[in-house]
Amino acid sequence: MQRINNRVILPFITAFLGGVWVFIGLSQYGWYTDGKPGSGFFPTITGALLLLMSILAVISESKLETPKFWIFHFHPIIMAVGVVLLAMLIGFFPALTLYVFGWLKWYEKYNLKTSLLATVLTITGMYGVFAMWLRVPFPVGFFIEGILR
């Protein structure tokens, strides 16, 4: 069986989105209301054009070579999702500290001194600018919130 070229996945997705935009635009928001362009006017035109261009892309892309993806491409995504989940539990800065140190020490295999130094500099810098200077209220996490209550 011939393998499907993964290059067509993206235009398939954009074609689907274009179709959804046209359908919702016409059925829910309206093309023209009271003789004036309605809420669906602009999105419908955009969606229709995207659908058309995506179909053209599906045809042209299927002839090209398939690019390769590796599992390591997804490691930063998995780690960042982990940081978000951990931030909800133990707070933003502890989660980021663990992430930066963990990545450097165990993933990149830097020595303890370099890992610690880079972590301290990064987190202190970020804390100083965002939390202290710009006063962005970062979440402290369920655990700390629970203790504070």
Partner 1 sequence: METLQLLLGGFVTALSLQNFLAAGVGAILGILVGAMPGIGSLAGVALLLPLTFKFEPITGIIMLSAIYYANMYGGSYSAILLNIPGDTPAVMTGLDGHPLAKQGKPGKALFTSNIASFIGGTIGIIILTVIGPGLARFGLKFGPVEMAALIFVAMTSLGWLLGDNPTKGIITTLFGILLATMGFDSVIGTPRYDFGSIYLLGGVPFIPLVIGIFGFSQVIEMMELRNKKKGFDTEKLTLKDSLLTKDEIKRILPPSIRSSILGTFIGVLPGAGATTGAFLSYMQEKKIGKNGHLLGTGRVEGVAAAESGNNSAAAGAFAPLLSLGIPGSGTGAVLLGGLMMYGLNPGPLLFQNQPEFTWGLIASLYIANVITLAIAIMIIPSLIKILKVPVGIMIPLITTICIMGSYSANNSLYGVIMMLAFGVVGFMLKKYGYPIAPLLLAYVLAPTLEKNFRQALQISDGSMAIFFQKPIAAVLIGFFLLTLVSPIIKMVIGKIKTKK
29 lies in the binding site for partner 1 (CB under 8 A): yes
User: Which residues touch 28 (CB under 8 Å, ≥6 apart)?
Assistant: 40
In our burial notation (b when 16+ CB lie closer than 10 A, e otherwise), range 131-147 reads eeeeeeeeebbeeeeee
5 lies in the site for partner 1, by CB under 8 A: no
Q: Among 4, 16, 23, 49, which residue sits at the site for partner 1 (rule: CB under 8 A)?
A: 49
Interface with partner 1 includes 19 (CB under 8 A)? no
CA distance linking residue 149 with residue 145, whole number of Å = 6
32: part of which helix (H) or strand (E)? Answer: strand 32-33
Nearer to partner 1, 88 or 112 (CB): 88
CA 98 to the chain's CA centroid: 21
The distance of Cα 128 from the centroid of its chain, to the nearest Å, equals: 26
The contact mask relative to partner 1 for 50-89 (x = CB under 8 A, - = no) is x--xx-xx--xx-----x-xx-xxxxxx-xxx-xx--xx-
Cβ pair 93, 83 in contact under 8 A? no
Token pair listed for 140: 């402290």
Interface with partner 1, residue 11, by CB under 8 A: yes
Binding site for partner 1 (CB under 8 A): 7, 10-11, 14, 17-18, 21, 24, 28-29, 32, 35-37, 39-43, 46-47, 49-50, 53-54, 56-57, 60-61, 67, 69-70, 72-77, 79-81, 83-84, 87-88, 92, 96, 99-100, 103-104, 108, 110, 118, 122-123, 126, 129-130, 134, 136-139
